[in-house]
Amino acid sequence: MNAPRGTAWLAVDWGTTNVRAWLVNGARVLRRQDFALGVGHLQPGEAARHLRDTIRPAMDAAESPAILCGMIGSTLGWEVAPYVDCPVDFHALHERLHLVRAAEPPAWIVPGLKAQRPDGGPDVMRGEETQLFGWALGDQSRYKGEQLICLPGTHTKWVRMIDGRVESFVTVMTGELFALLRNHSVLRAGPAQDDETAFRLGLKAAGNGNALASRIFTARSRVVGGDMSPSQVDSYLSGLLIGAEAASLPALFGIESGCRITVVGERGLSERYRQAIAARGFTAETSDGEEAVLAGLQALAAKGEASS
């Protein structure tokens, strides 16, 4: 990276459904805006045009260098930023930033990570790596020893970090599974309401996380049997799926109850995960996901200035 010190940067978290953008100068945020321009809505080649014609003008960042993370670096995005193999630390991530050759002003894309899961299979992430290091940089104690971090979302990530290095991680399709079941299965129901009692009932019904396909059907049998109203299905199913995840994922990493787990993400969903994790005997705390990804992008930009 090569950018003058004191430069205002355009920092962008470009996902599948949405774009979050900030204009930053060091630690100061000068401007922030969301755009409904996720790569899942775009045709090939459209990302560069939308960055130039929509995002830069709206952010008053026509001449600012840009640093971008997320699905913008995938085959669905602007240009592929090759995966970096784990284990990887912050320095290695910065060293592998992908320069978009045709971009003017200059733009770099944060590479995704590739790892071997604890069960031997492969796994990948894009965007969460920036969030992870942004979170870790917020407190030096997070760079010491072993950390287990949960990043909830459509494809939730569970990550093991040791002394500031991402060692391995596992993706869980809980959010996507929830949407599929509620929209395209016998669990379709009428208008839903947020019901804490139903959520806790779902957590209990998750048991130890096994036989999940069978447990899911109880979201229907409780309704048709008269034990639960259709409006409670969403909350019950959410508790069931998140509860099964919280019951089974730490064990996949060989983590036993008593370990501290940090949930980094959107406040409401993170709190549900915190409840589910705490119910399994772990010490759980939450941290803001947007603050973490912004901190990661700012740190990468600052490191680029320092090395120029």
Ordered by where they begin, the domains of the chain are 9-142+290-307 (3.30.420.300)
- Residues with Cβ within 8 Å of 197's Cβ and at least 6 positions away in sequence, in order, are 232, 235
Give pLDDT, residue 114: 98
Query: Phi-psi category of 240—alpha, beta or left, where left has phi over 0 and alpha has psi -120 to 50?
Result: alpha
Q: How far apart are CA 29 and CA 11, in angstroms?
A: 10
Give pLDDT, residue 307: 56
Do the beta carbons of residue 5 and residue 303 sit within 8 Å?
no
Give pLDDT, residue 193: 84
Q: Which residues of the chain have pLDDT under 70?
A: 1-6, 304-308
Give pLDDT, residue 198: 96
Alpha-carbon torsion 74, 75, 80, 82, what sign?
positive
- Residues with Cβ within 8 Å of 76's Cβ and at least 6 positions away in sequence, in order, are 16, 39, 40, 42
Q: How far apart are CA 20 and CA 35, in angstroms?
A: 7
pLDDT tens-place string over residues 148-203: 999 999 999 999 999 999 999 999 999 999 999 999 999 987 777 899 999 999 99
Give pLDDT, residue 183: 92
pTM across the whole model: 0.93
Give pLDDT, residue 1: 64
Give pLDDT, residue 190: 72
Q: How far apart are CA 103 and CA 234, in angstroms?
A: 44
Cα dist. 219→153, 170, 210, 235 in Å? Answer: 21, 26, 16, 10
Q: Are strands 9-14 and 66-70 parallel, antiparallel or unpaired?
A: parallel
Give pLDDT, residue 44: 84
